[in-house]
Amino acid sequence: MKNNKFALEKKFSSDFEKGLQKIGLKNTKNLFVTSNLESISKIRLPKKDKLEILLENMKKIMGKNYTIFSPSASLNFCNKDYVFDLKNTPSFQMGPLAEFIRLQKDSHRSMHPFWSVSAIGKNKNCLKSVSKHSYAYGSPWSKMLDLDTSQLNLGVHPSKAVTLIHHIETISGAPYRFNKEFECKILVKNKVKAEKFYLSVFFKNQNIKKRIKLNEHFFNELKRKRKLKYYKNKSGLEMWSFKMRDFFDIATKYFNQNIFNYLEFKPNLSFQKEL
């Protein structure tokens, strides 16, 4: 049994490493990874072993001075009376790999009760000083752009998992969103204190409808320019990579042309005149 387990680990590891090379991540220094690992759930290895193999191969392919960023959002606590504990509040629906990275001994997490990001490696400390706004300048998305970070999507097409779009909506001034203020309880040096944080949210009851195909038009453009890389390994795990800056440039161009391009149609925002 031990020999079978070792052979399976070796095969899974080699296959994943090959995929990372195929999508151009060798020697990448800054990487944001988001995932849905359902496609490898039937591989007969303990979950922790699979997560360790994934993480160790990312480190290996990136080489020295790597930084790996991962989502650690807890949006389920929005508008709820709870204390956000940077160390112990778990992420919510970010997937097992994201939580595995958050729980690494040397990880650092940005301070925001609803939308935080965790990181390990050389540049993790950039998350120590971030905006009180989840998506604005100075947020983790802004910091990752400054570091020329690449994004890796495992098992989920990037059009379905690219939170960077909300950073672009925010700084583009999308008129169908507004910056909502929340007073939140946070744990700081073993003491609970109240601080204000901000999140960009949709106006309610204004018939605002996201595109059914969400961000596909941005990624079609990335693909046309050969800036979106794809590989499906033998285990069935699909992998995509792209430069966050490339996505930012393409999406920003679309927003400059049509501020409502993320929506199915332009909503009626005449109510804003009364605000």
Work out the average pLDDT over 188-210. Answer: 92
Q: Residue 236 — φ and ψ, nearest 5°? A: 95, 5
Question: With contact defined as beta carbons under 8 Å apart, do 20 and 237 qualify?
Answer: no
pLDDT digits 0-9 by tens, 46-75: 999 999 999 999 999 999 999 999 999 999
Work out the average pLDDT over 217-225. Answer: 97
Work out the average pLDDT over 178-203. Answer: 94
- Amino acid in the structure at residue 91: S
Q: Which of 111, 94, 81 is nearest to 33 (CA)?
A: 94
- Residue 272 is predicted with a pLDDT of 57
- Residue 2 is predicted with a pLDDT of 62
pLDDT digits 0-9 by tens, 147-156: 999 999 999 9
- Residue 220 is predicted with a pLDDT of 97
Give the C-alpha separation, 110 to 228, whole Å.
28
Count Cα neighbours of 41 within 13 Å in the Cβ-side half-sphere. Answer: 8
- Residue 175 is predicted with a pLDDT of 95
- Residue 275 is predicted with a pLDDT of 39
Give the C-alpha separation, 106 to 140, whole Å.
18
| pLDDT band for position 6 (cuts 50, 70, 90) | confident
Work out the average pLDDT over 168-178. Answer: 96
Work out the average pLDDT over 172-176. Answer: 95
| pLDDT band for position 270 (cuts 50, 70, 90) | confident
120-125 own/partner pairs: CB under 8 Å, 24+ apart: 120/67, 120/68, 121/59, 121/65, 121/66, 121/67, 121/68, 122/29, 122/65, 122/66, 122/67, 123/30, 123/67, 123/147, 124/67
- Residue 273 is predicted with a pLDDT of 46
Residue 201 CB partners (closer than 8 Å, separation 6+): 177, 178, 180
Domain ranges of the chain: 2-263
- Residue 78 is predicted with a pLDDT of 86
**CA distances from residue 190 to 86, 90, 187 in whole angstroms, order as listed:** 11, 18, 6
Question: With contact defined as beta carbons under 8 Å apart, do 30 and 67 qualify?
Answer: yes
Work out the average pLDDT over 256-267. Answer: 96
Kindly report the average pLDDT of the chain as a whole number. 94
- Residue 148 is predicted with a pLDDT of 98
- Residue 1 is predicted with a pLDDT of 54
Residues above pLDDT 90, as percent of the chain? 87
pLDDT reading at 211 higher than 50: yes
* Residue position matching structure tokens 């112990």: 88
pLDDT digits 0-9 by tens, 22-45: 999 999 999 999 999 999 998 989
- Residue 235 is predicted with a pLDDT of 87
Work out the average pLDDT over 248-263. Answer: 97
- Residue 271 is predicted with a pLDDT of 58
Q: Residue 188 — φ and ψ, nearest 5°? A: -130, 115
Question: With contact defined as beta carbons under 8 Å apart, do 23 and 230 qualify?
Answer: yes
Question: With contact defined as beta carbons under 8 Å apart, do 20 and 26 qualify?
Answer: yes
- Residue 274 is predicted with a pLDDT of 41
Question: With contact defined as beta carbons under 8 Å apart, do 229 and 28 qualify?
Answer: no
pTM of the full predicted structure? 0.94
